């Protein structure tokens, strides 16, 4: 049943008709739990409060699978506006973005031009930028662009998904770039030809990748809500004597908030992924797919007055 629900939500996450309706009608049915408003000003206020409580963040203006050049320009401008807000408001925050929102599916020239504008602004304010990983089809292109810009801008990271067979090979290749990586399990529906179909295999590969990248001496963000992975990482950083400036835990806004504060109180570095914007539907569906408890949260809120 759980697997059926997951597949259903992942299928819905790519429905363009519903995405348009979601943009039109705003954050309904509990989405505001996972999305920090529709505007940068709303997000800034939430981030300020999080910073006061000891949480640092990476902020993402939501948008993906964009097929209009004008829309990519809007996404680029909004991301630049986010970087400016981080700098001017002195937020303890980074930026995350998806290359499809900048034109990855349209043309190489367009995505490179848009991304260069963002990197130039990030350099001006010294804001760290992470390129989010999307589905397998776009993995190779994403890593190529990361490698190109990592030569130009030091404060740049990307994401490796543990459910992909290629993940270990990618980490070994990225070691030459002193890559700062966010390691995740993966949230897209992929074929068993390219990804581990069984959760236990994904978990074991995730642990292997965490150890590999930490032993390489590169910065490692362990993005998980899984207590078993968290405990594994705690033991590993102790075993390897990893300094606190070489790793951090990451979790999603609105999910396991109590656990986030527990990790801070225990002395571990903790960053929260904070998305905002009107194009929230695909992101929201993947959050529902990841944890059945999120679905019941939505159902309960539908019947609240």
Query: Which of 132, 135, 170, 203 is the catalytic position?
Result: 132
Give the CA-trace dihedral at 103, 106, 109, 112, to 10 degrees.
Answer: 20
132 catalytically annotated? yes
Structure tokens at 211: 């150890």
DSSP string, 2-65: HHHHHHHHHHHTT-HHHHHHHHHH-S-TTGGGTS--SSHHHHHHHHHHHHHTT-EEEEEE---S
Query: Which of 6, 182, 256, 271 is the catalytic position?
Result: 182
How many other CB atoms are found less than 10 A from the CB of residue 250?
23
CA–chain centroid gap for 56, Å, is 14
Give the CA-trace dihedral at 272, 124, 178, 185, to 10 degrees.
Answer: 30
Contact 130, 58 (CB under 8 A): yes
Residues with catalytic roles: 132, 182
């Amino acid at each position: 049943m759980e697997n059926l629900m997951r597949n259903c939500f992942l299928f819905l996450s790519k429905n363009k008709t519903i995405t348009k309706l979601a943009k039109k009608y705003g954050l309904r049915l509990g989405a505001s739990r996972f999305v920090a408003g529709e505007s940068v000003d709303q997000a800034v206020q939430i981030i300020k409060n999080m910073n006061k409580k000891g949480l640092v963040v990476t902020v993402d203006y939501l948008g993906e699978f964009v097929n209009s050049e004008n829309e990519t320009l809007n996404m680029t401008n909004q991301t630049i506006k986010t970087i400016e807000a981080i700098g001017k408001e002195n937020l303890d925050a980074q930026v995350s973005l998806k290359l499809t929102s900048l034109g990855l599916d349209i043309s190489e020239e367009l995505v490179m031009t848009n991304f260069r504008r963002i990197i130039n602004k990030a350099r001006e304010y010294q804001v760290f930028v992470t390129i989010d990983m999307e589905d397998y089809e776009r993995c190779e292109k994403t890593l190529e662009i990361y490698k190109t810009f990592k030569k130009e801008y030091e404060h740049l990271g990307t994401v490796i998904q543990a459910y992909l067979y290629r993940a270990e090979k990618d980490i070994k290749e990225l070691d030459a770039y002193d890559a700062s990586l966010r390691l995740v399990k993966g949230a897209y529906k992929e074929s068993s030809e390219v990804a581990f179909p069984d959760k236990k295999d994904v978990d074991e590969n995730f642990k292997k990748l965490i150890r590999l990248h930490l032993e390489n001496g590169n910065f490692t963000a362990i993005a998980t809500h899984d207590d078993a992975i968290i405990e594994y990482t705690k033991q590993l950083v102790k075993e390897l004597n990893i300094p606190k400036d070489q790793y951090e835990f990451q979790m999603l806004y609105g999910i396991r908030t109590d656990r986030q504060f527990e990790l801070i109180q225990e002395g571990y570095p903790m960053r929260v992924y904070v998305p905002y914007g009107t194009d929230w539907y695909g992101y929201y569906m993947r959050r529902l797919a990841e944890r059945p408890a999120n679905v019941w949260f939505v159902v309960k809120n539908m019947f609240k007055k």
